[in-house]
């Protein structure tokens, strides 16, 4: 089975209604795995796989479990390779919250990403809290999780500003990856500015 076919099967599994209400769907899982691939601290496989489902899914048999978990591990490796490459990172959804942000795939992806950040929050902010916070901003805005905080409220009310931030997500991911995985190769936007 090709990787594309495996992903199709994984997507059908994750998007099915049978999973726990708090389980991540495919797009959210992609965001979550992207965050785990960026984080400087490795999260044990069992821990991150279990967290996707919130409670153990009802697999048809051991073969299905092996296939789903194997594809998740491959997807995470695929995302890590994408982040490490020089190409712009591609999200599995449009960079657009649409008219109903809460129903958009992008919101789901951003929420999934933040779930990944929350798993090892300390590791994300231990070395460069300000820079990481700045780079996470477009994703935090996209997630809608912080809309009740004053500084996010103003952004949420401004559709143009929201759009401007959302389109920065792929760039922010690359910058975060370099910062967390290759701190010596800081992207230009993070080099100290000479006043």
> For 66-95, what is each residue's pLDDT tens digit?
999 999 999 999 999 999 998 889 999 999
Read off the pLDDT of residues 29-53 as tens digits, 9 standing for 90 and up. 999 999 999 999 999 999 999 999 9
- This prediction has a pTM of 0.92
The two tokens of residue 138 are: 């477009």
> In CATH, which superfamily holds the domain spanning 3-181?
YgfB uncharacterised protein family PF03695 (1.20.120.740)
Residue-wise pLDDT tens digits, 88-139: 899 999 999 988 999 999 999 999 999 999 999 999 998 889 999 999 999 9
Q: What is the DSSP letter of 39?
A: -
Question: Nearest to residue 177, comparing CAs of 43, 34, 72?
Answer: 34
The mean per-residue pLDDT over the stretch 48-71 comes to 96
Q: Is the dihedral of CA 111, 69, 71, 120 positive or negative?
A: positive
- The pLDDT value recorded for residue 185 is 58
Q: Domain extents for the chain?
A: 3-181
Q: What is the pLDDT of residue 182?
A: 77
């Amino acid at each position: 089975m090709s990787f594309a076919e495996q992903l199709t099967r994984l997507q059908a599994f994750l998007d099915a209604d049978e999973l726990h209400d708090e389980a991540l769907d495919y797009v959210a899982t992609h965001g979550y795995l992207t965050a785990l691939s960026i984080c400087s601290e490795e999260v044990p496989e069992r821990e991150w796989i279990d967290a996707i489902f919130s409670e153990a899914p009802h697999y048809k048999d051991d073969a299905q479990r092996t296939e789903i978990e194997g594809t998740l591990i491959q997807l995470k490796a695929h995302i890590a390779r994408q982040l490490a490459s020089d190409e712009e990172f591609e999200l599995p959804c449009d960079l657009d919250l649409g008219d109903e942000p809460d129903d958009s795939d992008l919101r789901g992806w951003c929420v999934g990403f933040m779930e990944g950040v929350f798993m090892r929050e300390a590791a994300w902010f231990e070395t460069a809290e300000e820079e990481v916070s700045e780079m996470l901003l477009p994703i935090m805005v996209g997630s809608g999780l912080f809309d009740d905080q004053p500084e996010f409220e103003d952004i949420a009310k401004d559709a143009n500003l929201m759009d401007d931030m959302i389109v920065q997500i792929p760039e922010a991911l690359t910058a975060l990856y370099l910062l967390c995985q290759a701190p010596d190769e800081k992207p230009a936007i993070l080099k100290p500015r000479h006043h």
